[in-house]
Amino acid sequence: MKIDSPEAYVESLRALERRIYLLGERVENPVDHPMIRPSMNAMAETYNRGDEPEAEELLFASSHLTGGRISRFTHIHQNPDDLVKKVLMQRLLGRRTATCFQRCVGMDGFNALYSVTYECDQEHGTEYHERLKEYLRFVQEENLVVDGAMTDVKGDRGLRPAEQHDPDLFVHVVERRADGIVVRGAKAHQTGALNSHHILVMPTTAMRKEEADYAVSFAVPADAEGITFVLGRQPSDTRKLEGSPLDVGNPKYGSQEALIIFDDVFVPWERVFMCGEYDQSGKVVERFAAYHRQSYGGCKVGVGDVLVGAAQLAAVYQGVEGASHVRDKITEMIHLNETLFSCGIACSARGVPTPSGCYLVDVLLANVCKQNVTRFPFEIARLLQDIAGGLVVTMPSQKDFENPEIAPYLEKYLRGSADIPTMDRIKVLKFIENMTVGCGAAAYLTESIHGAGSPQAQRIMIRRLADLEDKVRLVKRLVDLD
């Protein structure tokens, strides 16, 4: 692994020459930009062995291609235990950062493409699988961050890709050359896009024959010509520019999402993994989604652990940790969080091999996992705010605490338990603000709804995979119907 530390990772990003916009301005040095850096710090934790006893076996794996020690984020799952470890790794990093550490999309993309390219080659006589393995070997050795880019901007949701008024609303091939292809379009909500070395593009839905140009998958460096990044806003994002770490709440870590525009970007054939095989596109979507829905049963659970801790700490600092209703609410937070974890573990432990050798999660249970993630974090956040109290949204700013004219008032009047410094209490409440109505809520709440597919996408899969006919047979037998 060439990039072998958080520091090396950050340095490696400096080499990229990208076209990035943020708050209406071109960003020349994203690495040191205070609004971007926290998300980079979160990503950097994936390079950090850390001090948890279990971290080594969770964060790293042995490459099935080379036998070498690699980041699990670049690993192809070889058995159910790998799938379980993936979830445990995600919980670990969620606990460290309390946010999205962004590197899962690439991992999930590689694993999805691994089995589909294999099957595509079998069916179509293509040679995508070897190309992908070659590329993967390179990624493992360099230890790159690869952004898995699936979600198109989609235009009118009531229309299919080929029916849109503008053909570019889904990424598609605009030219096929001897040496490669040229693509156009945009991918939305790209988590960690600015913290990635490469971008691995996949189709966003099952394409039909007339949409063959949209059935395209490929990888490009993040600074390939023709690529533009526009960073999205998050709640309270500019607090990171104020020099007010207190007001940021989670001062070191954050998440990030960008719109990536592909304006006639050239891709050499060796980095093309699907091009026109529209019958394979649905499988990529379904498998990537399954892996990524599994992911939420790990990462958000890690964040949930921190929120449970925050609830307990706020209760202690305010003198109510012994109240029966507070104890019961914290129990409920734990219960909901561990239910999510159970779903993450179950779809992993029930993983099955694909013909390629790569293991796939139980797709039904992975969808069940994500469906619960679209619900429980809101309830966890509500309970957390309940315990924290209204001060979460009425606290003065860090600058007020620094102004000698009023700081003594604040110190005096915002103290909770007498033996806890006021600032300690405020730190916890600012963190809770961040997680429930601030920057962190983007990752913990909204992303929990829409990441890896919106709720209805999971319901469609759950129904499709439930084998209703089988269940009908059970009743018929019991009540003696033919």
Q: Is 467 buried (19+), middle (13-18) or exposed (0-12) by CB count in 10 A?
A: exposed
The residues, any chain, with a CB within 8 Å of residue 379's CB and separated by 6 or more, are 332, 336
Give the span between the Cα atoms of 306 and 402, in whole angstroms.
28
Instruction: Indicate the DSSP class of residue 418.
Output: T
Pick from 49, 66, 319, 352 the residue near a second copy by CB under 8 A: 319
Give alpha helix (H) positions in 52-149: 55-59, 80-97, 104-124, 128-142
Q: Which residue among 33, 75, 172, 292 is the active-site one?
A: 292
Is 292 a catalytic site residue? yes
- Could you give the strand order of the β-sheet that contains 198-201, starting from the edge strand earlier in sequence? 146-149, 198-201, 216-221, 272-275
Q: What is the size of the binding site for a second copy (CB under 8 A)?
A: 157
Q: Is 191 a catalytic residue?
A: yes
Of residues 374, 361, 351, the one with CA closest to residue 453: 374
- Pick the closer one to a second copy by CB: 118 or 214: 214
Please identify which of the residues 45, 211, 257, 286 carries the catalytic annotation. 257
User: Chain centroid to CA 62: how far?
Assistant: 23
| 463 is a site residue for a second copy (CB under 8 A) | yes
CB of 165 to a second copy, least distance (A): 4
Least distance between a second copy and beta carbon 3 (Å): 25
The yes or no reply on residue 49 touching a second copy (CB under 8 A) is no
Residues 178-207 that bind a second copy (CB under 8 A): 186, 188-189
Determine, following the binding rule CB under 8 A, whether residue 233 of this chain makes contact with a second copy: yes
Lookup: tokens for 311 = 């609830």
Stretch of 1-9, 208-216, 219-227, 446-454 contacting a second copy, by CB under 8 A = 446-454
Q: In the structure encoding, which two tokens stand for residue 383, read together?
A: 């309970």
58 near a second copy, rule: CB under 8 A: no
Q: In whole angstroms, give the CA distance from residue 423 to residue 4.
A: 37
State yes or no: residue 42 binds a second copy (CB under 8 A). no
Closer residue to a second copy in complex, CB, 136/395: 395
In the residue annotation, 296 being an active-site residue is answered as yes
- Pick the binder of a second copy from 62, 79, 122, 456 (CB under 8 A): 456
Shortest reach from residue 349's CB to a second copy, in Å: 4
User: Is 251 near a second copy (CB under 8 A)?
Assistant: yes
CB contact set of 97 (below 8 Å; sequence gap of 6+): 41, 42, 45, 253, 302
Instruction: Give the interface segment with a second copy, choosing from 114-122, 173-181, 195-203, 433-441 (CB under 8 A).
Output: 433-441
Q: Does 40 bind a second copy (CB under 8 A)?
A: no
CA distance 121 to 273: 10
Q: Which of residues 362-391 bind a second copy (CB under 8 A)?
A: 364-365, 368-369, 371-372, 374-375, 378-379, 381-382, 385-386, 389-391
335 binds a second copy, rule: CB under 8 A: yes
**C-alpha to C-alpha distance for 446 and 430, rounded to whole angstroms:** 19
Specify whether 436 is catalytic. Answer: no
- Alpha-helical runs (H) found in 350-418: 363-373, 376-388, 398-402, 407-413
- Mask 399-418, x = binds a second copy (CB under 8 A)? xx-xx-xx--xx-xxxxxxx
* Binding positions for a second copy, 258-277, rule CB under 8 A: 258-259, 261, 263
What are residue 10's phi and psi, to 5 degrees? -60, -45
53, 125, 179, 474: which one binds a second copy (CB under 8 A)? 474
* Active site (annotated) includes residue 104: yes
Site string for a second copy, 128-157 (x = CB under 8 A): -----------------------x-x-xxx
Among 40, 58, 98, 146, binds a second copy (CB under 8 A): 98
Q: Which is nearer to a second copy, 275 or 346 (CB)?
A: 346
Q: Measure the CA–CA gap between 421 and 418, rounded to whole angstroms.
A: 8
Q: Please, what is the Cα angle at 157 between 101 and 459, to 5 degrees?
A: 65
Q: Which of 62, 66, 79, 238 binds a second copy (CB under 8 A)?
A: 238
3-state secondary structure of 274: strand
What contacts 59, CB < 8 A, 6 or more positions away?
46, 48, 49, 50, 71, 72, 89, 92
Q: Closer to a second copy at the Cβ: 114 or 444?
A: 444
Of 180, 114, 115, 189, the C-alpha closest to 147 is 189
Q: 183 - beta bridge partners?
A: 173, 265
164 binds a second copy (CB under 8 A): yes
CB atoms within 10 A of CB 163: 13
Among 69, 176, 177, 473, binds a second copy (CB under 8 A): 473
Q: How far is the CB of 112 from a second copy (least distance, A)?
A: 20
The window from 62-70, 112-120, 127-135, 241-249 that contacts a second copy (CB under 8 A) reads 241-249
Q: In whole angstroms, give the CA distance from residue 83 to residue 81.
A: 5
Closest CA to 194 of 20, 6, 4, 2: 20
User: Would you count residue 48 as binding a second copy (CB under 8 A)?
Assistant: no
Among this protein's residues, is 100 annotated catalytic? yes
CB of 295 to a second copy, least distance (A): 15
Catalytic residue set: 100, 104, 191, 257, 292, 296, 299, 447
